[in-house]
């Protein structure tokens, strides 16, 4: 086991899988330099034919990746910021997500749609979103949201071997976070949640960067409230069984995600718990999510995005019921 930063774990996964499969290539804006260092250095090893810079056109990135995928390649379409995926919405949501089904299963569409998510960098409303709910709402797309270095690498390797389109969202506030990464070859299966911390009083279901906040709050509450932290790791496929098992143990639930509260990830997870574990609940579910506002730039960002204090307040509220 080694400790390396989250972004370096992603970079390692790319390098290992590109060496394993010469059909994998990366296409996007500034991928040769690597804006967030996820693809830094790969062009030196694999060449410009497999790490290809494009003009500032997300439509070109998505369309080229889609065409190549149907010709036997396994492209990675890097959108830099996940927010920019909406510029290529037709190629992603109407074509990539659906063409396997439209063509009666005769066409495989193995693409990794790769984007950086989240606030905390004060870069404004067009570069700070966590748009998981729109992706999750779209049949035909798998959705990966790793919260630590080990998961970031193992899940990306799985994505790069999947014959279906996978959306891989990595959080800008996790880039430099060191974490344990196993030595040698490993992958992490989709649809298997991870209990990051065991507890008996309250279940916190958290995604991506919110997992780190939840773990910090759980540590702060040790000796007062025993918090179990569950990380779904993938939203599609979604492991509701592990979550239900935790809810049956604790009877109290907080759901934390950086997408908006309205029509967001927290609402969908809450409803699935209500449908499958209502009788186990001893208190109303508490949700922690972004406000229903554009994400402000600069100092005002903190008033829109959720943080540790919001998770703490939600845990304390549900524990008193």
Residues with a catalytic annotation lie at 127
Is the bond preceding 237 in cis, omega lying within 30 degrees of 0?
yes
Tokens 């996790």 sit on residue? 174
The answer to whether 45 touches 37, Cβ cutoff 8 Å, is no
Residue from 137, 139, 77 nearest 111 by CA: 77
Structure tokens at 92: 């992603």
Distance of alpha carbon 165 from alpha carbon 159, whole angstroms: 8
- For 119, the 3-state DSSP assignment is coil
The answer to whether 157 touches 13, Cβ cutoff 8 Å, is yes
Residue from 29, 12, 79, 25 nearest 51 by CA: 25
Rg (CA), the chain: 19
Strands 24-28 and 2-5: unpaired
The residues, any chain, with a CB within 8 Å of residue 102's CB and separated by 6 or more, are none
The residues, any chain, with a CB within 8 Å of residue 23's CB and separated by 6 or more, are 72, 73, 74
């Amino acid at each position: 086991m080694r400790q390396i930063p989250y972004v370096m774990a992603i970079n390692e996964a790319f390098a290992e899988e590109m060496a394993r499969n010469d059909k994998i290539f990366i296409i996007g804006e500034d991928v040769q330099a690597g804006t967030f260092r996820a693809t830094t250095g790969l062009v030196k090893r694999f060449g410009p034919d497999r790490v290809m810079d494009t003009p500032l056109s997300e439509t070109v990135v998505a369309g080229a990746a889609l065409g190549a995928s149907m010709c036997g390649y396994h492209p990675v379409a890097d959108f830099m910021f996940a927010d920019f995926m909406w510029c290529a919405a037709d190629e992603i949501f109407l074509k990539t997500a659906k063409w396997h089904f439209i063509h009666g299963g005769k066409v495989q569409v193995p693409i990794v749609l790769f984007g950086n998510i989240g606030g905390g960098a004060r870069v404004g409303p067009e570069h700070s979103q966590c748009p998981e709910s729109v992706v999750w709402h779209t049949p035909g797309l798998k959705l990966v949201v790793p919260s630590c270095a080990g998961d970031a690498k193992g899940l990306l390797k799985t994505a790069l071997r999947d014959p279906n389109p996978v959306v891989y969202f990595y959080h800008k506030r996790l880039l430099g976070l060191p974490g344990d990464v196993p030595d040698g070859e490993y992958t992490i299966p989709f649809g298997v949640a991870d209990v990051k911390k065991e507890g008996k009083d309250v279940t916190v279901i958290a995604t991506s960067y919110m997992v780190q906040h939840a773990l910090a709050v759980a540590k702060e509450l040790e000796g007062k409230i025993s918090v179990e932290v569950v990380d779904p790791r993938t939203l599609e496929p979604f492991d509701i069984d592990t979550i239900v098992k935790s809810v049956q143990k604790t009877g109290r639930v907080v759901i934390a995600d950086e997408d908006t509260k309205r029509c967001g990830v927290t609402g969908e997870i809450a409803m699935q718990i209500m449908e499958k574990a209502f009788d186990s609940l001893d208190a109303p579910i508490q949700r922690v999510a972004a406000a229903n506002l554009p994400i402000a730039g600069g100092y005002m960002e903190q008033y829109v995005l959720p943080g540790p204090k919001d998770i703490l307040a939600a845990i304390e509220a549900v524990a008193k019921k």
